[in-house]
Amino acid sequence: MSLSFSIDAVDGAARAGLVKTAHGNFFTPAFMPVGTVGTVKAMTPEGLSTAGAEIVLANTYHLMLRPGPDIVNQLGGLGKMMGWPGPVLTDSGGFQVMSLAKLSKVTENGVTFKSHIDGTEYFLSPEVSIAVQEKLDSTISMVLDECTPYPSSKSSAEKSMELSMVWASRSKSEFKQRPGYGLFGIVQGGVYSDLRSESVTHLRKLGFDGYAIGGLAVGEASSVLYEVARFTAGLLPAHKPRYLMGVGKPEDLVEAISAGCDMFDCVLPTRSGRTGQAFTRRGVVNIRNSRHKADRRPLDELCKCPTCSSYSRGYLHHLVRSNEILGSMLMTWHNIHYYQSLMISSRAYILRGEFDKFRSNFEQLRSMGDIDPII
């Protein structure tokens, strides 16, 4: 059997579930910290576990370039190489090829591109992507797709979606079923509901262990993201996990959970941590701001993370303004903990049938903003 998904509760469209895999289980809703090259920046695996993370994401494109899939395989696969005991999902590399690399040619066969690191030429096809992910020992692999840019005309979005569906079929044929491992299909179609519907129909006929909603969080307005995500999630099989790719801000996650999405990833909590931004119940705190320099309070008085338990805003301000590595570590730890707490709280309220209450409280607190410092 492949990985399994069970639903513990449904509240409106929001779901609380459990995914069982060869590398351990994780509850949904689930936020996956991004460990692009086999590490979540400024975090240790132990820190991730302490923060509440149960699954992390890594990227096929970056790991294919360095250290290379054969090296990762010789080191025992991603989990052993990273020292991470839980599940790992790997993106197929399609988005990074389109956004980072110097493209040479895109055909139905695959993509020829030059590395953004040293210009070396590579070829990535559905078969190559799946083979690389197998060498990485990815718990959950993703089909190779072409991420439709925004904005795109309907004809361009349709052509891109159709190519992704051809690649999805080939990815499925290449993937080797193993107990506890899974392959997710990716829905494309831009902002066009009929193209999204066509993509879902094609993927459902192929049959996957889970389904991802791709091609969003690429520049469209939040209202468009929410509309397309809600529409697409409603078309996907109820008995399979739904993964909204590349999302996002805390308010995006709450909205997406209410739309029936189960899994998420985004670089925002780690990237923001390294640039001095913290996510709290009351919104974003820019710790570089001078008003924090003598503030004895933690980032969030109710947060139980090690950063808030032991360090003041004033000290964090000093570390970040001094470009000390510890500042990036402590800010990132808090942000990862906040995102995981958001998932845990969402799940608890769904199980009680009170997700609307959680959503209302979340919005009310964030509307208040960060309060003035107490010195």
SS3 342: helix
Catalytic residue among 11, 91, 252, 370: 91
Q: CA-CA-CA-CA torsion for 38, 40, 44, 47, nearest 10 degrees?
A: -140
Select from 94, 102, 96 the least CA-distant residue to 125. Answer: 94
Residue 1 corresponds to which tokens in the numbers above? 């059997």
Structural contact between residues 2 and 231, judged by C-beta atoms closer than 8 angstroms: no
Rounded Cα distance between 258 and 252, Å, is 10
Helix axes 250-258, 325-352, angle to 10 degrees: 20
- Percentages helix, strand, coil for the chain (3-state, rounded to 5) are 45, 20, 35
Rounded Cα distance between 262 and 54, Å, is 14
Catalytic residue among 11, 265, 295, 370: 265
Q: Is 295 a catalytic residue?
A: no
Q: Is 91 a catalytic residue?
A: yes
Integer CA distances (angstroms), 308 to 57, 296, 346, 350, in order: 26, 11, 21, 27
Beta bridge partners of 89: 57, 140
Which residues are tagged catalytic?
Answer: 91, 265
